[in-house]
Structure 1
């Protein structure tokens, strides 16, 4: 078992360091201490440095992304400040941002939704293999309104390069990479290339990942659950030990795309196919077999007209299906056919003013059939219009934006339809205290309409071991957020601090009621006023910087509290306090990193939930570049080196499925 971290120890460290952090080490200070400006794509159609952004953000790219890469987008991002995961095993894991999850976190591929079923239930995987992602951007806070009212928690945008936006240097460029992990005998291989044919760029890629059941440090059931069962005389001598049964997975992903690239922009299309087959760890005979066919279009025209400098267009259509298998039998089938499109117009600078405006629309035709058809077939249509503007009175910068949205949710078989109009507004200001210091303040008010599952669910869900009941009378929820940011972006010591407080009116949440139907605990969607507050902190110190070698020490911490306003009771499945301490050394042809993540126990839990023990994770990585004239990287990683028993308090299955034990990974990456 890993060393338990006490609440007092983390609170003391947070008080010394500051209560919260806005950017990950990957976005504000690269692991080697290099000061590299990164342009934020998500949330800023007209481009903006991530360091100058008012919004808390993280950008993962290059070796930072490769170091964190795992089999799901949730686990790849988990551990970044302010970000945890829903964790339903290594494959089904979705990001949780500042304690908010599901439909409140928008998952995007190149700016368009993933069009899958991942927001419906934590056992449904995101239809995206992160192995070939070129870049992942995470936006937290008030700047998410460009992507819809359901982005109140944050936005995760996966930029995969499937549609080329430029011609490759030298006529061809690409990547080949492979990894192996000892814990689950995991094998992963990916390859992709872009070829230039005159003004045409053609891109093709494919990935394959396969893993067996993963190893765990001890019992699959938590210490507290086993004690509870023993006290009730329900102890089971056959409880899994040392290996998490039915946690194996296989993923296949491939795409082909082409673009016309000219002097004034580009226009391209792509087709992708994703297949996943993975076990549900809490049910030894249950599996999910998923596939998605996806078509995308992307373009940008940099020809001025009227008051605009450029036009950006994005469209995606997907046909998604997964079957929940019970042995060889199909128990339930989920389908989702949908499309989403957006048009952005970037304004020509007018004096001190710059900005962008646009329209967005989407359609979601969702259905489920079979034993666990928790919600009825539904058709959701969404239309929105938005604008973001910035005034530059250097050293003062003022931002403001707004979005209007109309959403209709039609439960076709029930003859029920709900329609909602939502308005979201934000404003903020930043001040350059000096060349390297920035202070900022934002205020936002956003409205979110309930989705079909929150409204109409009514049935058993074996994977989450719950009988889920919706509420067709739910009203839209309103969130008012205040956030302050302080950032130092150059010098020997760098870092950032973000503090936020969100007041929710009519917050929609799912909680256990204490009742049972068909031997399953009832989980009911309800509404109440709630508040979320906390923040993130990141610091980096260049301890050594000389020719041929540098050493950077860093620390990151995050904290979120979520309670019902009327009673003060904690909301369920909220991540605990965390602190990460790390050191990165870099030479001419190598870099090495060691980090310790300390996660506090979680005693603030919902009704009918057990507390969660704290834990410590020790991770290390080593990258070596053997050739001076070729972009080849050999990597060696150790994850959870102390083999700690670690459980994610935000997971529905935290007391039944721990996170994997010790894992030694090796890999090779060749870019040409």
Structure 2
């Protein structure tokens, strides 16, 4: 049985010195009190937690906000067999709106968006459950994870269909929502080919408002497949080579004023290892991404509204020499 008790505090001051400003001068104070207990059983581990949070935001121009919430969590991990484990977690959560979400009114130069805050935002309150199953032996690993997250007063940034100061305008909105999804993966390194690793995984997430409309800025489903070999020779230690194909599917589940994004596949490869040079280790790493020079948009790209594609063919070389 283990117990941890803690206190977390933050004081943040925002001051503007230039002519343009995105958020006003303000002070934010956060304080949290938490307790976590870890209980060990013969074939299971349980963790229980509780936390109280308070956030105060004082804006020089007159907005004063106070948010607070109490939350709890419980999780258990159990060994079903020698190779099979399961995890189940239940938790409530709290997130107070931040200064930007409450008060933004200007161009965010890092995102190429004109962001408009909402001083009437309430706190987010959620309930989440997630389940994880994992099977692992000497040559095969398999996992499957799933989650469901119900969020009251979910805060999100959404395009409103207008242009302000040559930038697309986005509003901070709030609605009850739920997000659900998961991932599944397989890793094989078959005997006697222990140097060979074959990995495949699939990820998915869906976000909807209570009125069944889709949330904006949700990533598309994707599949990753990797083949990797590892080796040691007289000249090369810890050598490896890999080839990876990442496929992202069409994202047609979009919100109002958000455009669908087409799917794409990206090919990458690389190799590396450690050499002995003048009795010292030299590590070499060479890799390339998007080897077919595919033109594509990532659905979450901040440059997509400007019709600027994501990165094309790219190569990386890394060298480390230990003296």
Of 216, 219, 240, which aligns to 1:572? 216
Q: Structure 2: any 5+ residue segments left out of the alignment?
A: none
Matches for 1:288-327 after TM superposition, within 5 Å: none
TM-score under structure 1 normalisation?
0.45
Matched, 1:668 2:319: yes
The 3-state SS of whatever aligns with 1:420 is: strand
Secondary structure of the corresponding residue to residue 455 of structure 1: helix
- Is 1:617 the equivalent of 2:266? yes
Which has the higher relative contact order, 1 or 2, with Cα contacts under 8 A spaced 6 or more apart? Answer: 1
Distance in 2, matches of 1:483 and 1:440, equals 8
1:426 is paired with a residue of what secondary structure?
Answer: strand
* Deviation (angstroms), 1:396: 2.2
Q: Deviations over 1:529-581 (max 9, x none)?
A: 011100112210113545xx610111111111011112x11111111001000
1:135 alignment counterpart: none
Q: 1:652 to 1:666 in 2, by over 3 A?
A: closer
Deviation at 1:394, TM superposition (A): 1.8
Q: Does the Cα contact within 8 Å between 1:584 and 1:591 map onto a contact in 2?
A: yes
More strand by percentage: 2
Q: Is the 8 A contact 1:390 1:399 kept in 2?
A: yes
| Aligned residues: CA RMSD | 2.0
Q: Alignment partner of 1:626: what SS?
A: strand
Distance 1:417 1:657, change over 3 A: same
- Residue 627 (structure 1) aligned to one of 269, 276, 293: 276
Please give the residue correspondences for 1:262-661 in structure 2 after superposition, counting only pairs within 5 Å: 353-370=1-18, 372-412=20-60, 414-461=61-108, 464-518=111-165, 520-545=167-192, 550-566=195-211, 568-588=212-232, 589=237, 590-627=239-276, 630-655=280-305, 656-661=307-312
User: Could you tell me which residue of structure 2 aligns to residue 284 of structure 1?
Assistant: none
Residue pairs, 1:9-20, within 5 angstroms: none
Moved more, 514-523 or 524-533: 514-523
Answer yes or no: is the 8 Å Cα contact 1:372–1:461 preserved in 2.
no
Any conservation in 1 of the 2:139–2:191 contact (CA below 8 Å)? no
Distance 1:540 1:372 in 2: 52
TM-fit CA distance, 1:638: 1.4
- 1:463 is displaced (CA, Å) by 5.3
Q: Which residue of 2 aligns with 1:211?
A: none
Q: Give the C-alpha shift of residue 582 in structure 1.
A: 0.6
Name the CA shift for 1:666/1:460 in 2 (closer, same or farther; >3 Å).
closer
Aligned pairs, number: 316
Structure-1 separation of matches of 2:14 and 2:206:
33
Equivalent-residue separation in structure 2 for 1:574 and 1:594 (angstroms): 27
Q: After the TM superposition, which of the residue ranges 360-369 and 641-650 deviates more from structure 2?
A: 360-369
Distance 2:240 2:63 in 1: 59
CA contact (8 A) 1:544 1:551 kept: no
Partner Cα separation in structure 1 for residue 37 and residue 186 of structure 2? 30
Q: Report 1:147-166 matches (<5 A).
A: none
Task: Name the SS for the 1:627 alignment partner.
Answer: strand
Separation in 2, partners of 1:386, 1:545: 49
How far residue 355 of structure 1 moved from its aligned partner, in angstroms, is 3.2
